[in-house]
Amino acid sequence: MKYSHDYVFVINNGSIVKKPIVASYGNNKCIELHLTEKGIVIHTRSSVVKEADNILRGKDSLFADAIKKSLLLYAIIFGKNIYIKNAKIFINGNEISSYAYETERMPLIYSLNEGKLKEIFGKNWNDPSVVSQIATTCKSNYNSLFSALHALLAAKSNRFEIERFTYYWMAMNGLYSYVANQVIDRADLPDKNKQQLRRSDAKKQQCFMECCGIRPNHISLRRGASDKTERMLVSKAKTLLSNIAEAEISDFCVDYYSKANENLHMNKLVQLFLDEPEVFASEINGVYLILIWIPYKIRCASFHGEAALPTYCFGDERDLRVLRVLNMVLDHFLTDELAVWMNRAPETQRNLNEKIEKTAQWLTASETAKKEIAHV
């Protein structure tokens, strides 16, 4: 296809770089995203004549997509959200239109996330295979991994712990749903059984944890145990987490995964559940507790569809400290794990496919055994 028109969109003091990020939209596979800390340049060629004002106002779908991808990648790479002060459009080398926020009634594009990120994404997100996945995937092809990514960005951008927790759990939900659904799809089970598994949060969480190599990953209360027992366990767990000293939180968030068995607080947390007579388990994984069970129970109590959305909060020191610990743990895990699942490098994909296949075999065996026991 012959491209007869050259388009350049410049945000703030953006400049050309030697190795731009190559994005795509529809049939156009040569959209260049030039990102520097001072600004952004989007460059592409097209056979279609585009109106400068449509480009500037986000009414041109190709440029609207490219701008959103650029802003997302800018936040990931530089650890902060860019504030658009001015923008210019060049068509075939000539400046056609410009924008300056000071003279406009409202911002050209405004983000719900502002300023420097509270937690950075890190080097794994600069991997070319991860960046390419973000730059070449159109919104119409977004899956729950991209939902998780946008929720993770919102969590990292927010300063209030309760809002951060909400977004972190949304990110976790998107990630475990994506992985679990792939596992369920590959399991050798009847379609009716698969539909039931997809509707179960607990089963999807279990599949995800199994795929991550975290087991045991399920807690059952003895038959007849009341909701009061569950609430009591959550309350005790929150008390324990709130007593982690401020200076220990960072170390705990690093060690909880790699050195869980050596961590004093994690051992206390596990023992708390083992000591409860109504918990039906001889072994409990503390990583599962801190990543899934406790956050999920807090989420259900505070953000469930039947619960009133918390729009006002008291400065409860205990709850604040609990959320701070959970948020740091979730951020540490999600930042690392989501980057792996977003990575499209062949070797990474092979490893992930092996994990999914192995977990699907485990799911098939466990569900088949459960069915056989039920018929005895």
**Sequential pLDDT tens for the chain (376 residues):** 566 789 999 999 999 999 999 999 988 888 999 999 999 999 999 888 888 888 887 888 899 999 999 999 999 999 998 888 888 999 999 988 888 876 666 666 766 677 889 899 999 999 999 999 999 998 888 899 999 999 999 999 988 888 899 999 999 999 999 999 999 999 999 999 999 999 999 999 999 999 999 887 788 777 666 788 888 999 999 999 998 877 777 777 766 666 666 778 888 999 999 998 888 777 888 889 999 999 999 988 776 666 566 666 666 788 888 999 999 999 999 999 999 999 999 999 999 999 999 999 999 999 998 766 655 4
Is the same domain home to 77 and 152?
A: no
Total count of residues recorded for the chain: 376
Within-domain flag for 137: no
Instruction: With beta carbons less than 8 A apart as the criterion, state whether 71 and 111 touch.
Output: yes
pTM score, whole prediction: 0.91
Could you tell me if residue 222 is left (phi over 0), alpha (psi between -120 and 50 degrees) or otherwise beta? beta
> Does an H or E element contain 288, and which?
helix 286-288
Q: Return the pLDDT at 244.
A: 86
> Does an H or E element contain 36, and which?
strand 28-36
Within-domain flag for 29: yes
- For residue 22, what are its two tokens? 């190559």
Is the same domain home to 250 and 369?
A: yes
Within-domain flag for 130: no
Is the same domain home to 188 and 322?
A: yes
Is the same domain home to 357 and 249?
A: yes
CA–CA separation, 157 vs 255, rounded Å?
24
CA–CA separation, 279 vs 281, rounded Å?
6
Task: Find residue 88's DSSP bridge partners.
Answer: 10, 98
Domain with 215 in it = 143-375
Is the same domain home to 308 and 201?
A: yes
Instruction: With beta carbons less than 8 A apart as the criterion, state whether 91 and 5 touch.
Output: yes
Question: In what order do the strands lie in the sheet containing 39-46?
Answer: 21-25, 28-36, 39-46, 5-12, 86-91, 94-100
Number of structural domains (the chain) is 2
Is the same domain home to 173 and 38?
A: no
* Residue type present at position 10: V
Is the same domain home to 307 and 203?
A: yes
Which of 103, 134, 151 is the endpoint of a domain? 103
Is the same domain home to 213 and 347?
A: yes
Is the same domain home to 91 and 159?
A: no
Q: Return the pLDDT at 106.
A: 60
Instruction: Give the residue carrying structure tokens 């065996």.
Output: 365
Determine phi and psi for 373, rounding to 5 degrees: -65, -40
CA–CA separation, 37 vs 351, rounded Å?
34
CA–CA separation, 294 vs 234, rounded Å?
7
Within-domain flag for 236: yes
Within-domain flag for 308: yes
Determine phi and psi for 334, rounding to 5 degrees: -65, -40
What count of other Cβ atoms lies within 10 Å of the Cβ of residue 219? 19
How are beta strands 28-36 and 39-46 bridged, if at all? antiparallel
Which of 36, 71, 103 is the endpoint of a domain? 103
Which three-class secondary structure state does DSSP give residue 187? Answer: coil
**What DSSP state is assigned to residue 95?**
E
Within-domain flag for 299: yes
Within-domain flag for 312: yes
Is the same domain home to 38 and 159?
A: no
Angle at which helix 201-211 crosses helix 346-375, to 10 degrees, equals 130
Within-domain flag for 220: yes
Which of 103, 127, 152 is the endpoint of a domain? 103
Is the same domain home to 52 and 193?
A: no
Which three-class secondary structure state does DSSP give residue 124? Answer: helix
Q: Return the pLDDT at 55.
A: 86
Instruction: With beta carbons less than 8 A apart as the criterion, state whether 194 and 367 touch.
Output: no
Is the same domain home to 225 and 318?
A: yes
User: CB-based contacts of 168: which residues, under 8 Å, 6+ apart?
Assistant: 151, 152, 155, 295, 326, 327, 330, 331, 334
